[in-house]
Structure 1
């Protein structure tokens, strides 16, 4: 890391895969340049207190006795005596108050800046991106951290590379033309929209990254003791067949990620909720291991929590829930409860609110009740369990998919995007490589092993996969 940092004249993108200790690496790196302190840490709001805790733990000589200032309100001023300032992307970019955080209290540029989860600066139109890039370019030393620097398409890398002042970087339009495949789609009313549908010249872009500012290590290369991660696609057949049929018939002429498809996903969540709840109860009853359930829509999260809470209470057990409404200081408390309390069996988590910064290695099974468009978000989410500190011999990740529905559409898109981003970042084409389980028609009055007909083939339906190793 130090070599890459010095090679790029004090600028580096640490792109190590999730769970390899990027936070600690950044803290050690900035500790070598004490003459440039105070350090400005920019991160998602949910991670501000995580950074404070980590700095006080690993750099007690410099960061103890409240010398790490966490900015929680725009009216707060930077403390000149602090060793480290920690601020969220949103506060830094707030046009009402953010301007005063773009420089040190005296008006001089920040000399050393760390941006955690730097994929948050991906769109040049966003005020957040403009503000952060301005700070990075003015700094003497800049460190970006992200296990998924590009989560969707190659053009998301451009603002990060601009912030690190990569020599010879093309303008955004030229960069997109060089490295992105685009497609024009009709969106109704005679209007069209141009979307990125893939990557081009991905190997070249990988060489640009690795020869300039990016250092990236993968778990399989450096953590040989880390357990196997097995992904499984579990087909779900909702009992509300009429609604699912209506959703399928509405899928034609839908532009991905638009408002119409979002509405369909919300309808699908409601249709599959009863069967998702039943599946999760089966998982609970078949083992005594902790597990994580990810979902996206509030209706799905509420339904899962209500169902699990009732079942857990029967055995004197508890659960946690973390979503976008959970206060930052409460998140750490709930994570600690899940990690350390043997009676806390289930974590119900929002995909978008909990894909970053949480360590939940107590779980050996991760279940996605819903999917999400961005492969980087899904990988970040499953990495909450598959990371340093796990004692499981295997981590199982299950995706509950309704065949022929928007679920299947999104899973196929995830596979395509994963292939593109893996070539850009690792110069290797990878997919989610998820095994497809036998079609899961949830049992109502059946034995633990049921036999159903899947076309002309008789298929045995096994119990849900649960990690047994610790």
Structure 2
């Protein structure tokens, strides 16, 4: 297929070529893989500035998306690539093959650095947000060899899904600390103040007045940002809530867990050791069931299952994508509604051919890199995630370039008066920081 770039795509290609360090914050659906490959192709074979490229991506994206994009476009014919995933033996064989592009999944970055010779002069980090944790093994490993690469490209659509603190590690792996500093303690001192704390123990930080603007100014010279709605004829996105109400008895069970952190029911016990565990337990209970301390599933209610059944019936056979979070949610949905898990390449292909009326998707395993827009245009959140990144990426499986429907519907099944409502509010609050970052470095094209 012949690649004829849109104006915004050509702008992004030129930006990557002219910036040895580039943070490319492209909204979902704008074709960041094709853009990056085109720039790499030019740098490899037109300008001869690089010779060996390492691409780091989520597993499914590494295994499928990058090879498919290379094979798809005529102008990328000369790019030889090798996908280094699988067993250690398979990875070693792949890394020994003669190629210009070596693709590895992010989980194997520590192995790559420790067990092989690092001979790459360019690094592409697909989903830069995967390196937001400055204390993670993958971040520390990549920092050991970052100096050897003359070029580095960071790609993501969600750079600060959990706030400005994420940006420190993401940009340090790009510029080695030139803009936001080399140490997290200095970054905190310069831009944040302690927020929630217990004595000397600080649990969270809040930005100082003007910190956002100062941070954006620091990174603006190497950052390009674009939103899909600015450059594509996107379908209308309709978001709604389908509220369900628990009975007085069910509400009493939920409240008992919330107030006492211990629930005893039918001889089973559910306990929450801290606020994080409690949040998970309450989310499960809002969905209709909860894991007990011994791993059994304790049934609470079927309110959300009833709602989902109504939604499926109202679709009249049109495809429906259902996002779940807990394993027991999927098990209960499968018992109530005929559906298929999108956890294999074959299932995904069937969905895109329109052969699956109801499909289940887990945001953590299918949030990045999947194109599901051919299979349907309606998404239902049975259980909601706290992660803005996973939330946005999952919605973007349908709400993206190539979606032929005029509208994409995202419906949230919400249990009234439960943690569901708080999670939705938190997602919206986080999106304000995300939107501010996008707006601050948005590229002016045309």
Residues 209-258 of structure 1, C-alpha deviation per residue, up to 9 Å, x if partnerless? 3x2211111112101x2111121133221353332332443589x99962
For the residue of structure 2 that corresponds to 1:42, the secondary structure is strand
Distance 2:253 2:335 in 1: 23
Q: Extract unaligned runs of 5+ from structure 2.
A: 1-11, 263-271, 290-299, 442-446
Q: 1:236 to 1:412 in 2, by over 3 A?
A: same
Distance 1:11 1:418 in 2: 26
For the residue of structure 1 that corresponds to 2:337, the secondary structure is helix
Corresponding residue of 1:265 = 283
Corresponding residue of 2:296 = none
Q: 1:333 to 1:177 in 2, by over 3 A?
A: farther
Corresponding residue of 2:27 = 17
Corresponding residue of 1:293 = 322
Instruction: Indicate yes or no: 2:144 matched with 1:138.
Output: no
For 1:439-454, what aligned pairs fall within 5 Å after superposition? Answer: none
Q: Give the counterpart of 1:303 among 332, 338, 341.
A: 332
For 1:226-241, what aligned pairs fall within 5 Å after superposition? Answer: 226-239=234-247, 240-241=250-251
Residues 95-129 of structure 1, C-alpha deviation per residue, up to 9 Å, x if partnerless? xx65134603xxxxx11111111100011111111
Q: Which runs of 4+ in 1 moved over 4 A?
A: 190-193, 197-200, 254-257
Q: How many residues align?
A: 395
For 1:386-405, what aligned pairs fall within 5 Å after superposition? Answer: 386-405=399-418
Instruction: Indicate yes or no: 2:356 matched with 1:344.
Output: yes
Distance 1:168 1:364 in 2: 41
Residues 277-333 of structure 1, C-alpha deviation per residue, up to 9 Å, x if partnerless? 221221121223211111111001121123222xxxxxxxxx4313xxx4xxx3x32
TM-score where L is the length of structure 2: 0.81
Instruction: Indicate yes or no: 2:178 matched with 1:167.
Output: yes
Distance 1:261 1:285 in 2: 31
Distance 2:137 2:258 in 1: 38
Q: Extract unaligned runs of 5+ from structure 1.
A: 105-109, 310-318, 429-470
For the residue of structure 2 that corresponds to 1:32, the secondary structure is helix
Which has the larger helix fraction?
2
Is 161-170 or 177-186 further displaced after alignment?
Answer: 177-186
Instruction: Indicate yes or no: 2:68 matched with 1:57.
Output: no
Distance 2:419 2:116 in 1: 43
Q: Give the counterpart of 1:280 among 299, 308, 323.
A: 308
Q: 1:385 to 1:391 in 2, by over 3 A?
A: same
Residues 32-59 of structure 1, C-alpha deviation per residue, up to 9 Å, x if partnerless? 1213233211011121222122222225
1:204 CA displacement: 2.6
Say if 2:139 and 2:173, in contact at 8 Å, map to a contact too.
no
Q: Give the counterpart of 2:167 among 147, 151, 157.
A: 157
For 1:311-330, what aligned pairs fall within 5 Å after superposition? Answer: 319-322=339-342, 326=343, 330=344
Say if 2:127 and 2:156, in contact at 8 Å, map to a contact too.
yes
Q: 1:348 to 1:43 in 2, by over 3 A?
A: same
For the residue of structure 2 that corresponds to 1:158, the secondary structure is helix
Corresponding residue of 2:55 = 41
Q: 1:426 to 1:154 in 2, by over 3 A?
A: same
For the residue of structure 2 that corresponds to 1:46, the secondary structure is helix
Q: 1:80 to 1:344 in 2, by over 3 A?
A: closer
Q: Give the counterpart of 2:100 among 68, 75, 83.
A: 83
For the residue of structure 2 that corresponds to 1:286, the secondary structure is helix
